[in-house]
Amino acid sequence: MKPTPFYPETDLPPIPFGLRHCQVAAQLKERGLPWTPQVGCFVWDPEKIIEITSPFPGRIYFILNLGHFLRIFGSLEEISKRLVWLPTYHQARLLCDWAGVDQQEVSAVLASAESIHAGDEVLELYKMILNRL
């Protein structure tokens, strides 16, 4: 089955992850954010290891079948070493709790969502988590 390409000129992005999200997520990884690859996670492939074209822009993939990723990388450890996890909004909110981000701070940022571009709410959560690592 041939993947359907994403056309940024005409298609609305199905996910909020852009290059800025990927870069901050990479910083989270560098600071030691723990992650075990699992079904339901979005990942960024900055090293361009995965040969199959992603249905998402920017070499972002969704782990629907963990076995497929294990065939490519060989182990969970190698997946987490070579790919960058892109936590979803829900996962980022849970990570804020895990990292000890004050809920009032989270609420204040999300309340200012009117001044935040679509999709950047997640980016702001990433930055709060980064500040706690």
Q: Tens digit of pLDDT for each residue in 58-93?
A: 899 999 999 999 999 999 999 999 999 999 999 999
pLDDT bucket at 3, cuts 50 / 70 / 90: low
Residue 11 lies in a domain: no
pTM: 0.87
For position 118, what pLDDT does the model report?
A: 67
46, part of any domain: yes
Q: Is residue 68 part of a domain?
A: yes
**What is the overall mean pLDDT for the chain?**
89
The answer to whether residue 5 sits within a structural domain is no
Residue 67 lies in a domain: yes
Higher pLDDT pick, 131 / 109: 131
Tally of domains in the chain: 1
Contacts of 106 (CB under 8 A, 6+ apart): 93, 96, 125, 128
- Tell me if 2 is assigned to some domain: no
| Whether 43 contacts 85, CB under 8 Å | yes
Residue 75 in any domain: the answer is: yes
Residue ranges making up the domain that contains 60: 19-132
Q: Which of 24, 4, 15 has its CA nearest to residue 133?
A: 24
Q: Is residue 53 part of a domain?
A: yes
